[in-house]
Structures are given as C-alpha cells and as structure tokens.
Amino acid sequence: MSLPLVAFSQKQYYLKTFDDTFSSDPLGWYGDPFSDFTITLDTANGILDVVVKKEDPWSVFDKYMGNCWANSLVLDQSNRYMEFRVKSVGAAVTKPITVYPKWGRNDGCPAENKTYPNMNFTIPVADEWKIVFLTIPQSTGGSQNVIDTLTWRFAMELPNGRYQFDYIKLGNAAIPPTPTIDVVKDKSVLENAGPQTVTLTGISLPGRDFIDGLDITAEAKSRDIITDVTILDPGNGKIHYDEATKKGTATLSFTPVNGKAGNSDSIIITLLDTIRWKMVRTGFKVTLLEDFSRKQYLKSFDATFSFDDGGWYGDSASDFTITLDTANGILDVVVKKSNWFSMFAKNMGNCNIPSLVLDQTNRYVELRVKSVGKAVTNPVRIYPNWGGIVGCDAEVKTYANMSFTIPVADEWKIVFLTIPQSTGGSQNVIDTLTRSFAIELPNGTYQFDYIKLGNAAASPIPTMDVVKDKNIPENAGPQTVTLTGISILGRDFIDGLDITAEAKAEGILTDVTILDPGNGKIHYDQVTKKGTATLSFTPVIGANGLSDSVIITLRDTIRGKMVRKGFKVTLVKAQIALSDADDNVKVYPTEVSDVVNIELAEAVTGEVSVVDVVGNVVASQKLVAASTAKVDLSNAAAGMYLVKIAKGSEVVVRKVVKK
C-alpha cells in the first residue's frame, strides 16, 4: 500500500536534502503494495519512525523519484554518494539490508534499461544511531554509461522491526565533507617546561550536525625535540562535541625535550572521517626556549621581538656564569673577569629580519637590577647595535650609548632610559635593532628581575582608586582618609613612586599631608600588587558651608610620569555633643502629670525613651532631624522615671517624676 507523507516532507533538511534538481513526488516515502508499514514523523525531534509489520519477506521502503522523461537526479563521477542516519529500535540487524536506486525503467523508457549493483548495510547495535555512507556504483546498460539519471525510485528492503531515520541524502547533498579544525598558532615553550596541553577548537564536519566517525590523532614531525604527542581521552572520547555550536574541541598534549633549546619541531594533527574516508591535516610549530626564558617577563620586548637560540650570553672576551633562580624568577649573573668590563648581551636578529622596531613612541629600555655585596659607582654602559657591521646594506649606524650606576649594594634599582635617536644609514626616524642588545658589567655578582625594550618598556602612568567627596563638621578635628589602589600599570613594583597632597584653596582645610609611619608613605601589598597611603587634613572652625578640593599627586620619579586626582570636602555646621552642657538638652517639667517636653540645642536623629526604675520602657519616640519632642506619660504609674535621649553612641539621661 502507498502512504502519503506530505507532513514529513516539511522537514526540508532531512529527506529532501537531495541534488538541487530533485523533484519530490507528492506521495513521499511509502511502502510498495506487498509491504506492511506505518510511517510517522516525530515532529518535535524531526525523526522519521518506520515500523515494518510484515514478517516475510522483507518490505520495500521507497521514494518515487521521477519518470523516464523528467530526470530527477543526475549522478556523475563527483556525486555518486548516498548517506543516511538510521537506528534500529530494540534489536540489531545483522542480515544485510539492501539499498537500490532504479536507473531507467523496465517498461516505457526507450533503450534506457540499466542494470545496477545493489548496495547493503547492517545495523549491528540496537538503539544507537549509525551513519551509513555508500558510494553508488556505475550502472551498466542503456546509453549513459558515465552519467546516470535516476528516473524511477530509490528503495530500501527493511526486515520486520522499527527504524528511525534522521536524514537521507543523495547526490550532491551526500558529497562527503572535508573535516575542519581551527588554526593553531605557533608556540614557544621552555625546554624544561614539562607536559604541555593545547586546546584544539572548531572541529566539525561542514554540512553535518554530527561528528560520528570522526577521529583525531597527532604526531611530531621529528621525534627528538618533542615527545609524548597525543590527543587525550578523558574517558568519554577524544572529541567533546557541543550540540549548540555544532563544533567539537580536543586536548593535545606534548612534552618538550630538555636540552633541545633553540630547536623547533612541527606537530601534525590529522582529522580522519572513518565513515566517509575524508582526511585533513594541519599543524603548528613549537620552538623550545632555554631555561632562562622561564621568567617570561625577562623577555617582555616588543611584540615583533624574535628570540635568539643562544639566549643571554657573554662575548668571547668575557667571563660569566649565568643562572636562573627559578623559585624567585631572578637571573643571577656573575662576572669573573677582574680587568675591564664584560659584555652581557642578547642577540636580537639579523640584518634582513629586524627584531625590534623603535619609533618616537617606544624608544625606552627598563630593567630592575641589584648589585650583590658592593655598589657600582663607575657607569655601566648599555648599548643596542642598530644595523650590522658587515653586510647590512649601508645600515651601519652610530648610536649614543647610555649608562647607569648602582650606588647602593644589595638593593633593587629600576633603571629607566630613553634610547637616543641613532644616526647614519637610511633610517633616521625609525630604527631597527638588528644585531644585539648589550650591557657591559664590571667584576661582581648581579641579579636581574626583568629587562624590557621597546613597547614593553613604554612608560606607564601611575594610578589610584577614586576618593569619594566628603562632608565634615567644621569642628571635627584632624581627619584621615585611606588612599587605595596605588600602582604603576604593567609593573609589579612601585619603586620611585611618590605621593603628595595639598588643598586647592586656603582657609578651609589645613595640615593637608600624606602620613609617613616610618617605613614610607606608601604601603605596598605584594599579593595584590597595589599600595595604600593615609592622607590627613584638618577642617577650619568657622568655615562651615564652604568647600575645598584636596589634590593628590602621584609622581613616578624614575620614568617621569605623573597623575593628579582629587576629591571635594564640604564643611558643615559644628556638631554639639548632647552631653556638652545642660543647656544642650532640656527636659521639663521635672514633675509631670501627662506630657514631658524635650528641647535640644540642634536637630538630631535618634530616639527618646522613658524607662522605669527597673528598666522597663514605658514610652518611646523616634527623632528624625528634630530638635524638640513630646512624650505622653498620662498612662504611666506614679513614680520616678528616666528620660533617655540617644544620638548614635551618645546618650543623655534626665530624671522626671510622674505625679
């Protein structure tokens, strides 16, 4: 019998994802006259349910495709594919299921009768989705032996049971997609960094909502620089698929080989579609850095800086030992040569590949250094080499060297220098550092915490948190304000940072200063990398109603940067304490028959309560910016009572007697 399934056809993505030339028959999918089917669509999930009731032989589940004169699907050598996603509910199907299109017809199709080898598949596991992908063989017979036209029907012979179809594709729609994955950027990794992981993203099969059958592997191109290259499987498969984005992620792991600093290797990632047998390969380069690179901000140079394989070194006439205190991230440089200076240098690039470009915005060098055991009063010279001495196409440049001293032993010093403009060569505004950056050090032991060049050394601006405006009583006396969030952006220290404060006007605030408890005006927190300071000022009595601004200046005395911030202080009328004098609080009459009156010298917010001799409250009243109050005691028993007027922590007590 033939069952029309117009409703099912509404899901365009699935059973109508054929070649563009496919013309759908109004009857939809059906069973032939000798079959016994029920065919329904789960519209909520877009799943076609096919229940085959006939026991023997199998039933034909098919789709009318067209006729002899209106070809509905054209197949050539590029699109001879069929793909569908199917599930057998409740039972596996181990006997092959036959799939066959009909090319031409047995009657009424002039000379177009064709013989077509059938295809088949099994469903070895029940209740699990299976993607079936088949290459349609070339038909024989008729006049078209290279290009086939599907002019009758497409059919499957299904045994007794229940099946679910998620999609069916033919022709162009079933052309196997090439797997995709996002590009992975090249990486620089310490030679002794241990196992590394990289998250691989954007894994997908274009045009498919699933990645069933997709496998991922990885390997190193060579095998002595990077080891243990693998895709991790946390237990639920190597690829984690996100149903929302329709893309997957995977985690790649590898371990650099210690002792191979300066070498590079490529990691090759292979995505293989084991169902459709499509494959794609991509890769990225891993460069191993020497142990010195462990403290990354020792190499915080311009983004275009390319690291030399040899790292920091002493020249042939120098005598050094260079080690890294990995626990503290400090580079120890011991200069053994006693006569003259030794050159502590770093190769930057070559004449053809400039590694650091300086213009008028980033001509800076900054380093934090300590001389262990002794001061260095003779100037220590710093000099980059711009251009090379040999073979750099007339780019030899004359460069004015810079210098610094270390006047105090065993204390960190930040050295910040502006690199002068070089002369010579063809580039007189923009310089390219193409040879080396060097420091000439005398005999001794030095520690470097960081070295920055170019953009990384561009002078940061000091910063601090905003201070809110304040209202202060004119007679409040000395006031203190905690200043927070004091820092130098991009630096882990505030060496050289000074803070001062002043009043903008005169006669309103006096004694404006930053307090120094004896260990400096700024207290620096090594955990938060921010400092605090305490500002003090005294309001002037008699200046109520007037406002003044307190201006706070943060000055970086090393880099010459400064920032100013401020807040407004408004003086309000002097507060009179409740207990200052009897005239400030009046309670009358002292012998009361009904109402007791309270008069205050100024409006206050607080509470009036009347309690008996054992502490029971017999009456109370809230005060909101009030200077008077009346409390009714007409219902109170005769006897002595205490009238309590409370303002914050201040309490004034008066006695009254109820007659």
Let me know if residue 586 belongs to a domain: yes
Q: What is the mean pLDDT of residues 374-395?
A: 65
Q: How many angstroms separate the CA atoms of 203 and 232, rounded?
A: 15
User: Given the structure tokens 């070895």, which residue do they identify?
Assistant: 124
Q: What is the 3-state secondary structure of 91-131?
A: CCEEEEEEEEEEECCCCCCCCCCCECCCEEEEECCCCCCEE
> Does residue 509 contact residue 538 with C-beta atoms inside 8 Å?
yes
Let me know if residue 75 belongs to a domain: yes
Residue 412 belongs to domain spanning: 315-457
Q: What is the mean pLDDT of residues 31-43?
A: 64
Amino acid at 483: L
State the pLDDT at residue 438.
Answer: 77
DSSP annotation of 506: S
Whether the per-residue pLDDT at 512 is higher than 90: the answer is yes
Task: Output the DSSP codes for 263-295.
Answer: -EEEEEEEEEETTTTEEEEEEEEEEEE-GGGGS
Angle at 538 between CA 534 and CA 544, to 5 degrees: 135
Is residue 497 located within the same domain as residue 623? Answer: no
Three-class SS state of 536: strand
pTM, 2 dp: 0.45
Question: Please, which pLDDT band fits residue 332 given cuts at 50, 70 and 90?
Answer: confident
Three-class SS state of 311: coil
In DSSP terms, 323 is beta-bridged to 332
Last residue of a domain, one of 408, 426, 457: 457
- For residue 589, say if its preceding peptide bond is cis, omega within 30 degrees of 0: yes
Whether the per-residue pLDDT at 218 is higher than 70: the answer is yes
What the block records as the tokens of 376 is 């260095």
What the block records as the tokens of 408 is 């105090």
Q: How many angstroms separate the CA atoms of 583 and 652, rounded?
A: 12
Task: Output the DSSP codes for 228-246.
Answer: EEEE---SS-SSEEETTTT
Question: Please, which pLDDT band fits residue 166 given cuts at 50, 70 and 90?
Answer: confident
* Residue 467 φ/ψ, nearest 5 degrees: -105, 130
Is residue 501 located within the same domain as residue 562? Answer: yes
Question: Please, which pLDDT band fits residue 83 given cuts at 50, 70 and 90?
Answer: confident
Let me know if residue 429 belongs to a domain: yes
> Which range is least confidently modeled, 87-91, 149-153, 307-311, 351-355?
307-311
The CATH number that applies at residue 436 is 2.60.120.260
User: Given the structure tokens 């005060």, which residue do they identify?
Assistant: 623
Is residue 368 located within the same domain as residue 419? Answer: yes
Q: How many angstroms separate the CA atoms of 646 and 536, rounded?
A: 30
Whether the per-residue pLDDT at 608 is higher than 50: the answer is yes
> Does residue 611 contact residue 574 with C-beta atoms inside 8 Å?
no
Is residue 104 located within the same domain as residue 35? Answer: yes
Q: How many angstroms separate the CA atoms of 16 and 173, rounded?
A: 9
> Does residue 655 contact residue 641 with C-beta atoms inside 8 Å?
yes
User: Given the structure tokens 């010093």, which residue do they identify?
Assistant: 413
Q: How many angstroms separate the CA atoms of 185 and 195, rounded?
A: 18
Whether the per-residue pLDDT at 76 is higher than 90: the answer is no
Question: Please, which pLDDT band fits residue 532 given cuts at 50, 70 and 90?
Answer: very high
Is residue 71 located within the same domain as residue 170? Answer: yes
| Of 134-138, 389-393, 480-484, 572-576, highest mean pLDDT | 480-484
Let me know if residue 521 belongs to a domain: yes
- Smallest CA-to-CA distance from 275 within 138, 392, 177 is with 177
Is residue 450 located within the same domain as residue 466? Answer: no
What are the tens digits of pLDDT across the range 609-644?
Answer: 998 877 788 899 998 888 899 999 888 888 888 888
Is residue 371 located within the same domain as residue 333? Answer: yes
Torsion of CA 383, 378, 366, 529, to 10 degrees: 160
Q: How many angstroms separate the CA atoms of 653 and 644, rounded?
A: 5
Tell me which of 352 and 528 has the higher pLDDT. Answer: 528
- Smallest CA-to-CA distance from 140 within 116, 108, 169, 166 is with 116
State the pLDDT at residue 52.
Answer: 76
Tell me which of 4 and 458 has the higher pLDDT. Answer: 458
In DSSP terms, 418 is beta-bridged to 364
The CATH number that applies at residue 279 is 2.60.40.3450
In DSSP terms, 40 is beta-bridged to 49
Sign of CA dihedral 182, 183, 187, 193: positive
Percent of the chain with pLDDT strictly greater than 70: 68
Q: How many angstroms separate the CA atoms of 511 and 491, rounded?
A: 32
**What's the full length of the chain, in residues?**
659
State the pLDDT at residue 251.
Answer: 96
Question: Please, which pLDDT band fits residue 147 given cuts at 50, 70 and 90?
Answer: low
Is residue 484 located within the same domain as residue 560? Answer: yes
Whether the per-residue pLDDT at 226 is higher than 80: the answer is yes
State the pLDDT at residue 509.
Answer: 93
Beta strands at 342-347 and 312-314: parallel, antiparallel or unpaired: antiparallel
* Residue 191 φ/ψ, nearest 5 degrees: -60, -30
What are the tens digits of pLDDT across the range 538-562?
Answer: 999 888 889 999 999 999 999 889 9
Amino acid at 282: T
Three-class SS state of 172: helix
What are the tens digits of pLDDT across the range 7-26?
Answer: 222 222 223 333 323 333 44
Tell me which of 401 and 365 has the higher pLDDT. Answer: 365
| Of 208-217, 330-339, 393-402, 453-462, highest mean pLDDT | 208-217
* 258 CB neighbour count, 10 Å cutoff: 13
Q: How many angstroms separate the CA atoms of 179 and 279, rounded?
A: 7
Question: Please, which pLDDT band fits residue 387 given cuts at 50, 70 and 90?
Answer: very low
Q: What is the mean pLDDT of residues 166-172?
A: 78
Q: How many angstroms separate the CA atoms of 59 and 53, rounded?
A: 9
Let me know if residue 634 belongs to a domain: yes
Is residue 598 located within the same domain as residue 534? Answer: no
Q: How many angstroms separate the CA atoms of 177 and 265, rounded?
A: 30
Let me know if residue 305 belongs to a domain: no
Tell me which of 537 and 367 has the higher pLDDT. Answer: 537
Is residue 452 located within the same domain as residue 484? Answer: no
State the pLDDT at residue 408.
Answer: 95
Across 599-614, b (16+ Cβ under 10 Å) vs e yields ebeeebebbbbbbeee
Whether the per-residue pLDDT at 416 is higher than 70: the answer is yes
Torsion of CA 229, 234, 239, 241, to 10 degrees: -150
> Which range is least confidently modeled, 22-26, 30-34, 335-339, 504-508?
22-26
Last residue of a domain, one of 510, 538, 572: 572
Q: How many angstroms separate the CA atoms of 541 and 340, rounded?
A: 67
Is residue 420 located within the same domain as residue 478? Answer: no
Beta-carbon contacts of 455 under 8 Å, excluding residues fewer than 6 positions away, are 302, 303, 362
Sign of CA dihedral 430, 435, 437, 438: negative
Amino acid at 94: T
The end-to-end CA distance of the chain, in Å, is: 110
What the block records as the tokens of 566 is 């401020």
What the block records as the tokens of 57 is 């032989």
> Which range is least confidently modeled, 396-400, 484-488, 639-643?
396-400
Percent of the chain with pLDDT strictly greater than 90: 28
Q: What is the mean pLDDT of residues 467-476?
A: 90
State the pLDDT at residue 243.
Answer: 86
- Smallest CA-to-CA distance from 225 within 269, 189, 197 is with 189
Q: What is the mean pLDDT of residues 105-133?
A: 73
Tell me which of 251 and 157 has the higher pLDDT. Answer: 251
Question: Please, which pLDDT band fits residue 399 given cuts at 50, 70 and 90?
Answer: low
Tell me which of 388 and 119 has the higher pLDDT. Answer: 119
* 135 CB neighbour count, 10 Å cutoff: 12
The CATH number that applies at residue 31 is 2.60.120
Secondary structure E strands in 274-363 = 278-289, 312-314, 320-325, 330-335, 342-347, 356-358
Q: What is the mean pLDDT of residues 290-303?
A: 35
| Of 17-31, 146-160, 280-294, highest mean pLDDT | 280-294
Q: What is the mean pLDDT of residues 176-185?
A: 92
Q: What is the CA radius of gyration of the chain?
A: 43
Q: How many angstroms separate the CA atoms of 597 and 599, rounded?
A: 7
> Which range is least confidently modeled, 1-15, 118-132, 422-436?
1-15
> Does residue 507 contact residue 540 with C-beta atoms inside 8 Å?
yes
Let me know if residue 179 belongs to a domain: no
The CATH number that applies at residue 645 is 2.60.40.3080
Last residue of a domain, one of 550, 572, 594: 572
Whether the per-residue pLDDT at 228 is higher than 90: the answer is yes
State the pLDDT at residue 313.
Answer: 55
DSSP annotation of 32: -
> Which range is least confidently modeled, 66-80, 222-236, 264-278, 361-375?
66-80
> Which range is least confidently modeled, 247-251, 301-305, 320-324?
301-305
- Name the domain count of the chain: 5
Query: How far is residue 488 from each of residues 295, 519, 525, measured CA to CA in Å?
Result: 20, 19, 13
> Which range is least confidently modeled, 157-161, 285-289, 304-308, 626-630?
304-308
Tell me which of 390 and 101 has the higher pLDDT. Answer: 101
State the pLDDT at residue 254.
Answer: 96
> Which range is least confidently modeled, 13-17, 149-153, 511-515?
13-17
Beta-carbon contacts of 129 under 8 Å, excluding residues fewer than 6 positions away, are 85, 86, 87, 166, 210, 212
Averaged pLDDT score across all residues of the chain: 76
Let me know if residue 471 belongs to a domain: yes
Is residue 448 located within the same domain as residue 343? Answer: yes
C-alpha of 363 from chain center: 30
Sign of CA dihedral 420, 425, 428, 433: negative
Question: Please, which pLDDT band fits residue 169 given cuts at 50, 70 and 90?
Answer: confident
User: Given the structure tokens 């380093």, which residue do they identify?
Assistant: 367
State the pLDDT at residue 305.
Answer: 30
Q: How many angstroms separate the CA atoms of 386 and 388, rounded?
A: 7
